């Protein structure tokens, strides 16, 4: 059996590497239009940072795992073709800022139609709006010259989270496969199911109809994001009442109907999926006239934006309503720990707001490059998936207020405050006395991830703000 995957990104790369690793007799080829990305996959330094990924790729690569830009050849030879291309939010035209941009998808479908000389199973892997499978079927049916060729479309949404992708792929809570409930559709589902059952217990491989599978992915992400917005909304109330959101999270999480996971209050969720998928859901609801449902889900994004604003407002208030010319150390830029990914990271919004108030930012992140940060701070929202120009005037402007540092200590030296944006483990064990000694007084810590102990840091002398935690006596009366 041969498998091809169009799109060598965060989803396609690790997922295909795991299939190849677990099924040495299946040839897996990961394809991309970007030569540079394929070169990186074929090098010692893989294009994405993901714990455990290197071992798996290095073991399977060259054996039965290959990376190539020869899309047509390998698509033509494959029995199963995964589509794992990017589906960014549209930046212009109808549905801008909400609908998914399916340009890459359609282009992948057209490539398949052109390249195939035999029947194939096509698997949707990237998140797409419900009924995309139908559109792909139409493109394939009308573009394939040989009418005897059959395409069975399956939806097999990916539930892996960045930073834990390898564990999620090795031991998934479930694998979901949706297909048409016809004879050939069911056969295609069974073929893909058999691939996963090589390492996933069969009761964890769930099957559903095509539309249920597509909608389940959007719904899962919307629910997860909704939990974060719910606890973040409560964090604001905690600050106003003296409750501690950590205690509230723990107390409600012990109810087995609620469960303990995904209840960490934070500066806001980021990542390429949550906001995009919710906006997508909102757009679909509006398209079918479900205004109330659309409003309900949109509020999850509204609270997320509110939480980011609230965080910066706390910073400003505490620092006597001005950060003009003040050095602000930003600890972490990635949207979560154990990844170098910055898509939709709350750090972007926080830096933008501080820079608008003329702060000088000194940022340290163990995995994000300076180039990436400057690019992120210079681009318009949702532009991360779109090709960017080289050096723009905006980038030059950003560089006047934003520098990157090689360590957390370097970032904090001479700073008025530290703002923790990402929950990297190393931030938990820093020598905070040493950081304090090198800072301007009063020295502030604004913990956007609740990873430091406010009591201990106050003993050192820091003024500490933690999301949803009792406020610092230094500032409660005046600012907070």
In the complex, the residues that contact ligand ADP under the rule CB under 6 A are: 6-12, 31-34, 37, 71, 84-86, 104, 107-108, 111, 126, 272, 385
Considering the rule CB under 6 A, would residue 235 count as an interface residue with ligand UDX? Answer: no
Instruction: Report the C-alpha gap between 101 and 5 in whole angstroms.
Output: 20
Residue 280: which residues within 8 A CB-CB, separation 6 or more?
A: 89, 98, 99, 100, 127, 129, 218
Are the beta carbons of 412 and 230 closer than 8 angstroms? no
Instruction: Report the C-alpha gap between 468 and 243 in whole angstroms.
Output: 8
- Read out DSSP for 239-268? HHHT--HHHHHHHHHTSTTT-STT----S-
Give me the least distance between CB of 110 and ligand ADP, in Å please.
8
Give me the least distance between CB of 261 and ligand ADP, in Å please.
22
Q: Could you tell me which stretch among 30-38, 92-100, 268-276, 359-367 binds ligand UDX (CB under 6 A)?
A: 268-276
Alpha helices in 268-387 (DSSP H): 274-287, 291-318, 346-356, 370-378
Strand, helix or coil for residue 31: strand
Considering the rule CB under 6 A, would residue 161 count as an interface residue with ligand UDX? Answer: yes
Considering the rule CB under 6 A, would residue 353 count as an interface residue with ligand UDX? Answer: no
User: Shortest CA distance to 337 belongs to which of 11, 50, 48?
Assistant: 50
User: Shortest CA distance to 78 belongs to which of 29, 31, 16, 42?
Assistant: 29
Phi/psi of residue 51, each to 5°? -55, 130
Give me the least distance between CB of 273 and ligand ADP, in Å please.
8
Among 270, 340, 454, 466, which residue interacts with ligand UDX (rule: CB under 6 A)? Answer: 270
**H or E, element range at 4:** strand 2-6
Considering the rule CB under 6 A, would residue 228 count as an interface residue with ligand UDX? Answer: yes
Among 41, 82, 269, 382, which residue interacts with ligand UDX (rule: CB under 6 A)? Answer: 269
Considering the rule CB under 6 A, would residue 236 count as an interface residue with ligand UDX? Answer: no
Instruction: Please tell me whether 404 is known to bind a ligand.
Output: no
101 vs 168 by CB, closer to ligand UDX: 168
Q: Which residues are catalytic?
A: 273
Q: Interior CA angle at 204 toward 200 and 209, to 5°? A: 120
Instruction: Report the C-alpha gap between 145 and 435 in whole angstroms.
Output: 67
- Residue with smallest beta-carbon separation from ligand ADP: 9
Cα of 191 vs its chain's centroid, Å: 30
Q: What's the full length of the chain, in residues?
A: 480
Give me the least distance between CB of 299 and ligand UDX, in Å please.
17
x/- track of binding to ligand UDX for residues 109-148 (CB under 6 A): ----------------------------------------
Integer CA distances (angstroms), 477 to 317, 445, 471, in order: 11, 18, 10
Instruction: Please tell me whether 59 is known to bind a ligand.
Output: no
x/- track of binding to ligand UDX for residues 314-343 (CB under 6 A): ---------------------xx-------
Instruction: Please tell me whether 275 is known to bind a ligand.
Output: yes
Residue 264's binding partner among ligand ADP, ligand UDX, none (Cβ under 5 to 8 angstroms by kind) is: ligand UDX
Among 89, 229, 266, 469, which residue interacts with ligand UDX (rule: CB under 6 A)? Answer: 266
Which two three-digit tokens encode residue 475?
């500032």
- Residues interacting with ligand UDX, by CB under 6 A? 158-162, 221, 224, 228, 262-264, 266, 269-271, 273-274, 335-336
Which residues carry a binding-site annotation for NAD(+)? 7-12, 32, 37, 85-89, 126-127, 162, 273-276, 343
Which residues carry a binding-site annotation? 7-12, 32, 37, 85-89, 126-127, 162, 273-276, 343
């Amino acid at each position: 059996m041969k498998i091809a995957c169009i799109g060598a990104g965060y989803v396609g790369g690790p997922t295909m590497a795991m299939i190849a690793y677990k099924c040495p007799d299946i040839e897996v080829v990961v394809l991309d239009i970007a030569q540079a990305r394929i070169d990186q996959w074929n090098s010692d330094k893989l294009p994405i940072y993901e714990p455990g990924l290197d071992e798996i790729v290095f073991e399977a690569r060259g054996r039965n795992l290959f990376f190539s830009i020869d899309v047509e050849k390998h698509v033509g030879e494959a029995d199963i073709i995964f589509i794992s291309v990017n589906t960014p939010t549209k930046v212009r035209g109808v549905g801008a800022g909400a609908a998914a941009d399916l340009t890459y998808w359609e282009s992948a479908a057209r490539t398949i139609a052109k390249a195939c000389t035999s029947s194939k199973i096509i698997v949707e892997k990237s998140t797409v709006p419900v009924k995309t499978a139908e559109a792909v079927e139409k493109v394939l049916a009308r573009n394939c010259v040989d009418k005897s060729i059959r395409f069975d479309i399956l939806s097999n949404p990916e539930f892996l989270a960045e930073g834990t992708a390898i564990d999620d792929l090795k031991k998934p809570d479930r694998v979901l496969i949706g297909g048409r409930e016809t004879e050939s559709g069911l056969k295609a589902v069974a073929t893909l199911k058999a691939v996963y059952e090589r390492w996933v217990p069969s009761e964890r491989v769930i099957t559903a109809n095509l539309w249920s599978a597509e909608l389940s992915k959007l719904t899962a992400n919307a629910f997860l994001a909704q939990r974060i917005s719910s606890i973040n909304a409560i964090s604001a109330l905690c600050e106003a009442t003296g409750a501690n959101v950590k205690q509230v999270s723990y107390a409600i999480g012990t109810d087995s109907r609620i469960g303990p996971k995904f209840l960490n209050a934070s500066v806001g969720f980021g990542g390429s999926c949550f906001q995009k998928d919710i906006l997508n859901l909102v757009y679909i609801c509006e398209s079918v006239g479900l205004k109330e449902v659309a409003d309900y889900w949109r509020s999850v994004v509204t609270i997320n934006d509110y939480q980011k604003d609230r965080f910066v407002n706390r910073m400003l208030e505490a620092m006597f309503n001005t950060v003009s010319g003040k050095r602000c150390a930003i600890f972490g830029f990635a949207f979560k720990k154990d990844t170098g990914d910055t898509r939709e990271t709350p750090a972007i919004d926080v830096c933008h707001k501080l820079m608008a108030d003329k702060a000088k930012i000194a940022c340290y992140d163990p995995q994000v490059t300076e180039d990436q940060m400057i690019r992120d701070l210079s681009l318009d929202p949702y532009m991360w998936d779109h090709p960017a120009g080289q050096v723009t005037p905006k980038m030059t402007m950003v560089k006047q207020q934003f520098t990157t540092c090689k360590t957390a200590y370097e970032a904090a030296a001479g700073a008025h405050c530290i703002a923790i944006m990402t929950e990297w483990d190393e931030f938990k064990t820093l020598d905070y006395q040493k950081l304090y000694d090198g800072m301007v007084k009063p020295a502030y810590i604004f913990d956007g991830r609740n990873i430091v102990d406010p009591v201990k840091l106050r003993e050192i002398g820091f003024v500490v703000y933690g999301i949803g935690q009792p406020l610092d006596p230094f500032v409660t009366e005046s600012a907070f």
